[in-house]
C-alpha cells in the first residue's frame, strides 16, 4: 500500500501562567481555564468562526460534569460550534497524547487542523462520599413512596457516612504515592540529594532567564493578575534547597525528595494548534515545527519496576524506528515530575546493564549534553498541572526549533500508572 501520510505542523501554542493550588485560580476550575487558553489560541491565529477537524482537551482531576470538557470549552472559545471535541486523560501525558491524537488524524488525511491541550486544577477538586451513603441515596431515589424513601434514608444510618472523600494521589495498585515510588527509584539508581537540588535550581534559573529574554511573551497569556508562573523562584539557592526536609521518606533518615526538588500541586492550562502544510498555507500561518513520531510504553511497577521509568523504554523504541541515536537531538525536554526521575532516566540510558537486560540493546544509549536539556526550565520551576504539561512542552519546543531554524527535539513525559509518552519534533 502506498504511504499517503502527511506531515503534521505545529503552528503554535499558548498557556496561562501555572500557579500553586488554592491561589489565583482556586475558583476558576478546568472549564474556565480551558476556555481561556482556547480563546487565546483563537485570538492569536484568527480562528473566529472557523470549523476545525477536532479539539482534544483533557483533565486528570475533574468533576463528573466535566465529562465533555473539550466540547463545552470550545463552544465558548470563538471557534465554529460545528467543531467536534473529545475529552481524554492519561495523567501527566494527557496533552501530549492529545497532540498525538490530532496529529495522527491530520497525517491520515481525516482532518486538516485541530487543537490539542489540557487543564488541571488541584484547587477545585471533586468531593465524593463513601459507598454506603451513595448506595443509600440510590435506594432513596428508587423508592416509590415517601415512607419508603424515609426508611431507605434511616435504615442502618451512621453519621460516619457523611465523611467526604477527597481525590487521592496514591497508586491504587500499591497504595504508595508517586513520590514514594520515586524515592525507591532514587535509591535504586543511587541518585543523591545534591544532584536533585542542583537540577531543580538549574530549572529555576533557566526559567527566569527565559522570562528575562522575552521567550514566553507570545506563549503566555496573563490571567487573573498573573503574568508569570507562580512557582518560579529566581532567588533560590543550593543553601535554601538543602534546608528543606524530606517530603516522602521522612523516617529512614535517607529521604532525598523534598518540596524543592519535586513538583508542587498546580493549576493551569495549555493548548497547541496543529495543521497540515496546505491548511497552514491557506490561512497564511507559519509552521514552527513538525511532529515526526511518538511512542507510548508502560512498566510493571506493581512487581518492582520503577513507576516513572516507562519513558526509558518508549524512547529507544522510537529511536530505532526512526534510525536515530539518543545524541541526534538539539534539544531534550524531559518532564521534571521530580528531579530524581529525570536523573534516573538519564542514568538508565547510560547503563550498559539496563540497556542490555531491559531494553535488549547491544550498547547503552549513552549520555546527552546537559546544555541541551530543558533549556528554558521545566516543571520544577514552571509547575505541573497534570494534563497541561504536554501541551506546554510541545509549544515551548516548537518555538525553540523555529528560533534555531532547523533541528530536532525529544520529548519525554512520565505518568502515573507506570506509563510514558514520548515524541520527536523536528524542523
Mean pLDDT over 140-147 rounds to 93
What are the pLDDT digits (tens) for 86-108? 999 999 999 999 999 999 999 99
pLDDT over 70 at 41, yes or no: yes
What are the pLDDT digits (tens) for 397-423? 999 999 999 999 999 999 999 999 999
- Which pLDDT score is estimated for 63? 83
92, 182, 344, 355: which is the annotated catalytic residue?
92
pLDDT over 90 at 192, yes or no: yes
181, 204, 335, 384: which is the annotated catalytic residue?
384
For residue 243, what is its C-alpha cell? 534546608
Mean pLDDT over 9-27 rounds to 97
pLDDT over 60 at 3, yes or no: no
Mean pLDDT over 333-361 rounds to 98
182, 344, 355, 414: which is the annotated catalytic residue?
414
pLDDT over 80 at 165, yes or no: no
87 forms beta bridges with: 57
Going by CATH, does the domain composed of 178-215+292-426 fall within 3.40.20.10?
no
Beta carbons within 10 angstroms of residue 253's beta carbon: 7
How far, in Å, CA of 30 to CA of 45, rounded? Answer: 23
Q: Please provide the average confidence, as pLDDT, over all residues in the chain.
A: 95
How far, in Å, CA of 199 to CA of 369, rounded? Answer: 14
pTM for the full predicted model: 0.94
Task: Mark whether 384 is an active-site residue.
Answer: yes
- Write the CB contacts of 370 (distance below 8 Å, at least 6 apart in sequence): none
Mean pLDDT over 355-379 rounds to 98
Task: Mark whether 344 is an active-site residue.
Answer: no
- Which pLDDT score is estimated for 167? 67
What φ, ψ does residue 146 adopt, rounded to 5°?
-60, -35
3-state secondary structure the chain: CCCCCCCCEEEEEEECCCEECCCCCCCCHHHHHHHHHHHHHHHHHCCCCCCCCEEEEECCCCCHHHCCHHHHHHCCCCCCCCCCEEEECECECHHHHHHHHHHHHHHCCCCCEEEEEEEECCCCCCCEECHHHHHHHHHHHHCCCHHHHHHHHHCCCCHHHHCEECCCCECCCCCCEHHHHHHHHHHHCCCCHHHHHHHHHHHHHHHHHHHHCCCCCCCECCECCECCCCCCCCCCCHHHHHCCCECCCCCCCCCCCECCCECCCEEEEEEEEEECHHHHHHCCCCCCEEEEEEEEEECCHHHCCCCCCCHHHHHHHHHHHHCCCCCCCCEEEECCCEHHHHHHHHHHHHCHHHHHHCCCCCCCCCCCCHHHECCCCCHHHHCCCHHHHHHHHHHHHHHHHHHHCCCEEEEEEEECCCEEEEEEEEC
pLDDT over 50 at 71, yes or no: yes
Residue from 417, 427, 360 nearest 97 by CA: 417
pLDDT confidence tier of residue 2, bands split at 50, 70 and 90:
very low
As to burial, measured by CB atoms within 10 angstroms (0-12 exposed, 13-18 middle, 19+ buried), residue 83 is: buried
What are the pLDDT digits (tens) for 108-141? 999 999 999 999 998 888 877 788 888 989 999 9
Amino acid at each position: 500500500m502506498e504511504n499517503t501520510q502527511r506531515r503534521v505542523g505545529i503552528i503554535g501554542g499558548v498557556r496561562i501562567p501555572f500557579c500553586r493550588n488554592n491561589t489565583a485560580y482556586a475558583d476558576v476550575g478546568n472549564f474556565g481555564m480551558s476556555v481561556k487558553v482556547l480563546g487565546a489560541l483563537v485570538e492569536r491565529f484568527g480562528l473566529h468562526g472557523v470549523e476545525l477537524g477536532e479539539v482534544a482537551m483533557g483533565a486528570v482531576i475533574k468533576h463528573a460534569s466535566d465529562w465533555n470538557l473539550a466540547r463545552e470549552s470550545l463552544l465558548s472559545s470563538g471557534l465554529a460550534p460545528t467543531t467536534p471535541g473529545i475529552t481524554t486523560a492519561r495523567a501527566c501525558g494527557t496533552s501530549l497524547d492529545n497532540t498525538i491524537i490530532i496529529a495522527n488524524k491530520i497525517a491520515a488525511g481525516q482532518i486538516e487542523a485541530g487543537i490539542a491541550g489540557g487543564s488541571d486544577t488541584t484547587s477545585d477538586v471533586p468531593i465524593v462520599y463513601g459507598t454506603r451513603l451513595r448506595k443509600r441515596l440510590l435506594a432513596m431515589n428508587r423508592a416509590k413512596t415517601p415512607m419508603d424513601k424515609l426508611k431507605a434514608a434511616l435504615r442502618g444510618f451512621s453519621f460516619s457516612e457523611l465523611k467526604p472523600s477527597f481525590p487521592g494521589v496514591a497508586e491504587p495498585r500499591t497504595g504508595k504515592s508517586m513520590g514514594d515510588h520515586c524515592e525507591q527509584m532514587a535509591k535504586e539508581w543511587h541518585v543523591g540529594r545534591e544532584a536533585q537540588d542542583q537540577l531543580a535550581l538549574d530549572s529555576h534559573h533557566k526559567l527566569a532567564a527565559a522570562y528575562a529574554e522575552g521567550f514566553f511573551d507570545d506563549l503566555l497569556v496573563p490571567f487573573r493578575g498573573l503574568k508569570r508562573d507562580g512557582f518560579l523562584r529566581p532567588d533560590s539557592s543550593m543553601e535554601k534547597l538543602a534546608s528543606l526536609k524530606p517530603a516522602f521518606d521522612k523516617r529512614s533518615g535517607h529521604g532525598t525528595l523534598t518540596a524543592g526538588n519535586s513538583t508542587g500541586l498546580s493549576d493551569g492550562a495549555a493548548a497547541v494548534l496543529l495543521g497540515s502544510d496546505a491548511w497552514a498555507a491557506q490561512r497564511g500561518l507559519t509552521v514552527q515545527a513538525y511532529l515526526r513520531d511518538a511512542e507510548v510504553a508502560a512498566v510493571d511497577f506493581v512487581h518492582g519496576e520503577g513507576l516513572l521509568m516507562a519513558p526509558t523504554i518508549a524512547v529507544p523504541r522510537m529511536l530505532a524506528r526512526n534510525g536515530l541515536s539518543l545524541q541526534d537531538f538539539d534539544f531534550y525536554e524531559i518532564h521534571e515530575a521530580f528531579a530524581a526521575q529525570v536523573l534516573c532516566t538519564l542514568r538508565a540510558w547510560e547503563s550498559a546493564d539496563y540497556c542490555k537486560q531491559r531494553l535488549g540493546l547491544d550498547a547503552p544509549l549513552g549520555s546527552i549534553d546537559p546544555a541541551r536539556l530543558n533549556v528554558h526550565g521545566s516543571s520544577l520551576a514552571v509547575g505541573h498541572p497534570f494534563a497541561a504539561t504536554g501541551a506546554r512542552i510541545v509549544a515551548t519546543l516548537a518555538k525553540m526549533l523555529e528560533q534555531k531554524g532547523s533541528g530536532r527535539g525529544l520529548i519525554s513525559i512520565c505518568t502515573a500508572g507506570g506509563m510514558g509518552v514520548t515524541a520527536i519534533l523536528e524542523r
